[in-house]
C-alpha cells in the first residue's frame, strides 16, 4: 500500500490542521495542492532550524546574511540567531522552507539502477497517462505535491511528477539519531549519566523513470548509521508498486560498471579493491583525495602485469564537476556485490544527475 504523509508530533499536527480542509477536494480531481501558511510555534521553529543546520554551515550563514544578521560563528550561535530572527520577524518559516527547497535533498544517496519493461513504460509514457493512473488509484493529490516541512519517521510518498518523458516519485522522511553531549553529563550518587542530544534531519528518496529508454533509478537517502538499505529498498518499492509495477523492474548488474570505471579517464580512482582468480584481495589507495591511484607509475605497471588475472571488485571514485567558475570533486562508491552506487556529500540535483548519467 502507498503510504501518504500524515502527522503525529507537534509541528506535524500543525501541518495537518492546515491541510485538512483541502485534502478531500484534492483527492476528487488531479491537481497540485496550493501552498499553505506555516505556523511559527516554538517546536516548529526549532525543527526547521535543525533541518537547515544539518546541512553545510554556509547555507545557514547565507540566510542570516540575507536577513541582515551576523552570519559567522559556530552552528550553536547560528541556531540562536536564526531562532531570534524568526521571533523578531526578520526571518520567516516560509523563508527557511524556501531555502531548504533550494539546497536540501540531493547527495548522500545510495542508488539502485533498474531496466524497466516496455509495458510498464507504455502505461506511464505521458503526463496524461500518469495522471490517469494516479486518478484511478485515488492518489491524485500526489501530483506535483508539496514537500512536507515536518515528515514522519517512516518514509511516505509526497509527490509524483512528470516532465517530458520522465516520471519521478518522491518520498519524505525525518531521520533521528543521537549526538553525544558531554557538557550535559551528570552524576547521581554512584550512577553516572551520559547525555545525548536527539538530532533531526529531513531527507528525501526518489524513484526516477525515463519512459523512452526504460532506464530507472531508486535513489535512497543515506542512513545515519548502519547499512540496512535492503529494508529501505523493499519499503520504497512496496510503496511504488501500485504506481509503477515492480514486477516490470530488473535490477542492473553493476559488476561491468566497476570494470568500466577502473579504466575510465572521467574519474579519479581514489580507492580500488581488486580480486585475483584465486580470490586473493588487493587494495590500492591513492596518496591524496585529489590524486588518481594509477598516476603512480609503480601501480600502473603492476596493474598492467596482472592483466586478466585480476579484476576490480569495488571502487571509490571522484568526479570533477564544474558549475560556472566553481569546480569541485564529488565522491562516489561502486558496490557491485550489493548492486548499489553511493553518492557522498551534499550535492545539487544537477550534479547528481550528471554523475548518474
pLDDT tens-digit series, residues 22-71: 333 333 333 334 444 555 566 777 888 888 887 776 777 888 888 888 87
Task: Indicate if the alpha-carbon torsion angle 236, 240, 246, 249 is positive or negative.
Answer: negative
Residue 73 has pLDDT above 80, yes or no: no
pLDDT tens-digit series, residues 127-156: 999 999 999 999 999 999 988 888 899 999
Q: How many CA atoms lie within 13 A of 39 on its CB side?
A: 14
Of the listed ranges 103-107, 136-140, 301-305, 350-354, the one predicted with least confidence: 103-107
**Alpha carbon distance 166, 10 (integer Å):** 36
DSSP string, 109-163: EEEEEEEE-HHHHHHTSSHHHHHHHHHHTT-GGGBTPPPPSS--SS-EEEEEEEE
pTM of the model: 0.78
What is the 3-state composition of the chain as percent helix, strand, coil, each rounded to the nearest 5?
Answer: 40, 30, 30
Grid coordinates of 40: 511559527
**Alpha carbon distance 59, 79 (integer Å):** 12
pLDDT tens-digit series, residues 224-248: 766 688 999 999 999 999 999 999 9
**Contact assessment for residue 140 and residue 31, using Cβ atoms and an 8 Å cutoff:** yes
**Alpha carbon distance 129, 131 (integer Å):** 5
Other C-beta atoms lying within 10 Å of the C-beta of residue 1: 7
Other C-beta atoms lying within 10 Å of the C-beta of residue 279: 7
Number of H helices, E strands in the chain: 11, 13
Most distant CA pair in the chain, distance: 70
What does DSSP assign to residue 150?
S
**Alpha carbon distance 116, 289 (integer Å):** 36
pLDDT grade for 118, boundaries at 50, 70 and 90: very high
Q: Which residues, at least 6 apart from 197, have a Cβ–Cβ distance to it below 8 Å?
A: 178, 179, 180, 181, 184
**Alpha carbon distance 210, 57 (integer Å):** 35
DSSP string, 219-264: EEEPPSSS--HHHHHHHHHHHHTTTS-GGGEEEPP-HHHHHHHHT-
**Contact assessment for residue 205 and residue 236, using Cβ atoms and an 8 Å cutoff:** yes
**Alpha carbon distance 41, 9 (integer Å):** 13
Q: How far is CA 224 from the centre of its chain?
A: 12
* Mean pLDDT value across residues 73-98: 83
Nearest 5°: CA angle at 338, between 333 and 340? 40
What does DSSP assign to residue 53?
H
- In the three-class reduction of DSSP (H, G, I as helix; E, B as strand; rest coil), residue 311 is classed as strand
Amino acid at each position: 500500500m502507498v503510504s501518504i504523509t500524515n502527522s503525529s508530533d507537534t509541528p506535524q499536527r500543525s501541518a495537518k490542521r492546515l491541510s485538512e480542509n483541502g485534502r478531500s477536494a484534492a483527492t476528487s480531481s488531479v491537481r497540485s495542492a496550493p501552498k499553505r501558511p506555516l505556523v511559527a510555534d516554538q517546536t516548529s521553529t526549532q525543527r526547521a532550524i535543525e533541518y537547515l543546520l544539518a546541512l553545510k554551515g554556509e547555507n545557514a550563514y547565507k540566510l542570516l546574511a540575507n536577513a541582515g544578521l551576523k552570519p559567522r560563528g559556530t552552528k550553536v550561535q547560528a541556531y540562536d540567531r536564526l531562532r531570534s530572527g524568526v521571533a523578531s520577524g526578520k526571518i520567516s518559516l516560509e523563508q527557511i522552507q524556501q531555502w531548504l527547497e533550494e539546497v536540501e535533498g540531493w547527495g548522500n544517496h545510495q542508488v539502485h539502477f533498474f531496466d524497466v519493461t516496455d509495458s510498464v513504460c507504455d502505461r506511464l509514457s505521458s503526463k496524461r497517462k500518469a495522471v490517469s493512473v494516479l486518478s484511478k488509484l485515488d492518489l491524485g493529490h500526489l501530483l506535483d505535491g508539496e514537500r512536507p516541512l515536518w515528515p514522519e519517521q517512516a518514509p511516505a510518498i509526497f509527490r509524483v511528477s512528470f516532465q517530458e518523458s520522465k516520471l519521478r516519485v518522491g518520498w519524505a522522511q525525518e531521520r533521528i539519531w543521537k549526538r553525544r553531549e558531554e557538557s550535559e553529563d551528570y552524576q547521581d550518587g554512584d550512577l553516572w549519566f551520559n547525555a545525548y542530544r536527539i538530532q533531526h534531519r529531513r531527507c528525501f528518496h526518489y524513484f526516477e523513470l525515463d519512459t523512452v529508454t526504460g532506464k530507472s533509478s531508486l535513489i535512497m537517502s543515506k542512513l545515519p548509521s548502519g547499512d540496512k538499505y535492503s529494508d529501505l529498498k523493499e519499503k520504497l518499492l512496496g510503496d511504488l508498486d501500485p504506481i509503477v509495477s515492480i514486477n516490470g523492474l530488473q535490477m542492473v548488474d553493476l559488476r561491468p560498471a566497476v570494470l568500466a570505471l577502473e579504466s575510465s579517464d572521467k574519474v579519479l580512482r581514489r580507492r580500488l579493491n581488486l580480486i585475483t582468480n584465486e580470490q586473493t584481495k588487493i587494495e590500492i589507495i591513492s596518496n591524496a583525495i585529489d590524486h588518481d591511484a594509477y598516476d603512480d607509475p609503480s601501480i600502473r605497471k603492476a596493474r598492467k602485469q596482472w592483466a586478466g588475472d585480476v579484476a576490480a571488485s569495488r571502487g571509490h571514485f571522484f568526479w570533477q564537476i564544474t558549475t560556472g567558475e566553481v569546480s569541485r570533486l564529488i565522491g562516489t562508491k561502486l558496490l557491485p556485490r550489493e548492486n548499489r552506487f553511493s553518492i557522498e556529500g551534499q550535492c545539487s540535483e544537477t550534479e547528481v544527475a550528471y554523475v548518474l548519467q
